[in-house]
Amino acid sequence: MIPIAKPLIGRTEIRAVKRVMKSGALAQGAEVASFENEFSRLVGDRNCVAVNSGTSALQVCLLSLGIGPGDEVIVPSFTFAATANSVALVGGFPVFVDIDPDTFCIDPSLIKNAITPKTKAIQVVHLYGLPANMIQISKICKEYNLLLIEDAAQAHLADIDRTPVGTFGDAAAFSFYPTKNMTTGEGGMAVFKSDEAARTARLLRNQGMETRYQNEIVGFNLRMTEIHAAIGRAQLKKVEAWTEKRIFNAGTISKSISEEFSPTIPAGFRHVFHQYTIRVPERRNEFISFLTEKGIGSSVYYPTPVHRLKPFQSALDLPETELACQQVVSIPVHPSLTSKELKTIISALQLWQKLTAR
């Protein structure tokens, strides 16, 4: 079976882990600091704070920007639950807004209607690796004096006209979970515009301490280990080449299938194809079984809108989100696909199109 995702762990990662294990220094230290420095090159040299997961990174972003109890944060509902969980975990309320059906990202034209006197921030998601419409969303944030946070968990190296994601907002969160475009095993990076917010994030990560036993605030233990940081440093050297391969694989598929089937890429946007996601308006389950029979793995991200999940139970009507949940299927485009596997995927899609053509 061609898997939907495959973490790429090579000799350099294994050597890096060995080096750290032999050094005996395992808890957050020099490797983590180097990883932060090296990662900052991906985000216009912004201040980076490594933590133990993408979800922790989101939480640290919110808390470091002063978002807390009673604050409303506008989020999409068509996303992974962590986007909304992070808001709820700091005591805030996620306010769900529908998506643009062409890009699957939050629809900027619907945001203003969701703003109330309690709104503090907009937390966008660059879903599947495609940047949200940051130009329009930044304008809304300025007009209404709102903070802007980017959930960039799926979008390492994505950009709009060469401006990288992670540099549009006041803060951004990346994930290094094994299925993401690069991994540390588990891990995350919080990225900040202001050095002051970054300092707060460093305190929150480590019990509120900068100097040992001089606790300044109440903090967590969200530290990344040296082992995970060493894996991340090795991955950083390869992530650009992997991204180009993802874009190549996606482009090859898009060229071979009908245009209405393939994902939209707005002009000037660099879609890094964390997922290659298509809409199957009819007989989706049959399509998934058809792929399985051909040895092609696939997955539905996401089958249930976050606002319909048990913790958020909301009666909101978000028709494009509901429709996307019923129609989407993601198919493999990860960088370890062979050209033979790519051909298998393309032939299967072409055959399905033929079988279902009217």
Nearest CA to 269 out of 133, 149, 152 is that of: 133
Q: Does 52 bind ligand PLP (CB under 6 A)?
A: no
188 binds ligand PLP (CB under 6 A): yes
Identify whether the C-beta of residue 8 lies closer than 8 Å to the C-beta of residue 242. yes
Contacts for 224 with CB less than 8 Å, ≥ 6 apart: 28, 32, 35, 50, 51, 52, 184, 187
Minimum distance, C-beta of residue 177 to ligand PLP, in the bound complex (Å): 4
Parallel/antiparallel/unpaired status of strands 147-151 and 171-175? parallel
> Which residue's CB atom is positioned nearest to ligand PLP?
54
* Main-chain dihedrals φ then ψ at residue 198, nearest 5 degrees: -65, -40
Figure out which of the listed residues 4, 28, 48, 55 binds ligand PLP, where binding follows CB under 6 A.
55
Which of 51, 125, 222, 236 lies at the binding interface for ligand PLP (CB under 6 A)? 125
User: Counting contacts by CB under 6 A, is residue 175 touching ligand PLP?
Assistant: yes
96 binds ligand PLP (CB under 6 A): no
How far apart, in Å, are the Cα atoms of 347 and each of 136, 238, 248, 286, 293? 39, 29, 17, 17, 13
Residues 172, 65 contacting (CB under 8 angstroms): no
Q: For residue 111, how many C-alpha atoms fall within 13 Å in the half-sphere facing its CB? A: 30
Nearer to ligand PLP, 83 or 206 (CB): 83
Q: Which of 13, 31, 151, 320 binds ligand PLP (CB under 6 A)?
A: 151
| Residue 80 in the binding site for ligand PLP (CB under 6 A) | yes
* Alpha-carbon distance values, 93 to 18, 106, 308 (Å): 43, 17, 15
In order, the DSSP letters of 22-82 are HH---SSSHHHHHHHHHHHGGGTT-EEEEES-HHHHHHHHHHHTT--TT-EEEEESSS-TH
Q: What is the DSSP string of 226-266?
A: HHHHHHHHHHHTTHHHHHHHHHHHHHHHHHHS-GGGSPP--
Q: Which of 2, 48, 50, 82 contacts ligand PLP by CB under 6 A? A: 82
- At its nearest, how many Å lie between ligand PLP and the CB of residue 81? 8
> Judged by CB under 6 A, which stretch of 19-27, 77-85, 156-164, 311-319 contacts ligand PLP?
77-85
Q: How far is the CB of 320 from ligand PLP (least distance, A)?
A: 17
Q: Which is nearer to ligand PLP, 83 or 299 (CB)?
A: 83
Give the nearer residue to ligand PLP in terms of CB position, either 177 or 290.
177
Q: Tell which one of 47, 64, 119, 154 touches ligand PLP (CB under 6 A).
A: 154
CB of 123 to ligand PLP, least distance (A): 10
Query: Does the footprint of ligand PLP cover residue 53 (CB under 6 A)?
Result: yes
Among 2, 153, 165, 345, binds ligand PLP (CB under 6 A): 153
Question: Which one among 2, 46, 54, 193 touches ligand PLP, defined by CB under 6 A?
Answer: 54
DSSP 292-334: HHTTB--B-S-SS-GGGSTTT------HHHHHHHHHEEEE---
Question: Which range binds ligand PLP by CB under 6 A, 137-145, 146-154, 213-221, 285-293?
Answer: 146-154
Q: In sequence order, which residues have a C-beta less than 8 Å from that of residue 232 and are 6 or more positions away? A: 35, 39, 50, 176, 182, 183, 184, 187
Q: Which residue has the tokens 């907009």?
A: 122
Q: Which stretch binds ligand PLP (CB under 6 A): 6-14, 47-55, 195-203, 241-249?
A: 47-55
Among residues 78, 96, 128, 177, which is the contact residue for ligand PLP, using CB under 6 A?
177
Q: How far is the CB of 249 from ligand PLP (least distance, A)?
A: 20
The site string for ligand PLP over 210-249 (x = CB under 6 A, - otherwise) reads ----------------------------------------
Binding site for ligand PLP (CB under 6 A): 53-55, 79-80, 82-83, 125, 151, 153-154, 175, 177, 188
